[in-house]
Amino acid sequence: MRHTHGSIEVICGSMFSGKTDELIRRLVRAKIAKQKVQVFKPAIDVRYAVEKVTSHAGADFDAVPIGKSAEIKSKLEPDTTVVGIDEAQFMDAEIVDIAQQLAERGVRVLVAGLDMDFRGEPFGPMPILMSKAERVDKLHAICMVCGDEASRTQRLVNGKPARYDDPVVIVGASELYEARCRIHHEVPR
């Protein structure tokens, strides 16, 4: 599992699709291979733990919370060969350049995040990261309405679909969101 050159790998999909579990699985494998791993996450994500990335299933991995992508440069240890970034949709646009720079320096960059917001539209820097990546894995959840494969995140407000003009960024989990298929995803205007 040693890598000989840098790369960007993106793990994307809807909420509850297993993105963070897959990120953690790859990070654990890198550690088993005796690679130096560092993980970063947006400081606004405090749902489970401040200094860990944590999946909805309960798996976790130590992480450094950051307010801006540029902090990765100052907090990166020189011998790090694998960088994990969770919830990348919340990062500023500079995350794309930083991921590119790290990959060009020989670092394996593992990025996880929502590819679409609750409206079903591309989310933050994720579309650009996906286009620059060597590998993109889109994971799917289970639709909470029909049980089919879900690719979208439904935001709920008082049990009803959020309106299109509601704020895009509201950090939450199953109390605010559920996975939906294309047919059952609703965004009233």
- Of the candidates 6, 180, 9, which has an alpha carbon nearest to the alpha carbon of residue 110? 9
In whole angstroms, give the CA distance from residue 177 to residue 108: 31
Rounded CA separation 134/108 (Å): 10
Least confident of 35-39, 51-55, 156-160: 51-55
List, in order of start, the domains of the chain with CATH numbers.
Answer: 7-139 (3.40.50.300)
Please say whether the beta carbons of 149 and 14 come within 8 A. Answer: no
Q: Which residues are catalytic?
A: 87
pLDDT higher than 90, residue 50: no
Enclosing H/E stretch for 104: helix 94-104
- Residue 174 pLDDT more than 70? no
Mean pLDDT across 96-112: 97
Task: Report the C-alpha gap between 112 and 41 in whole angstroms.
Answer: 10
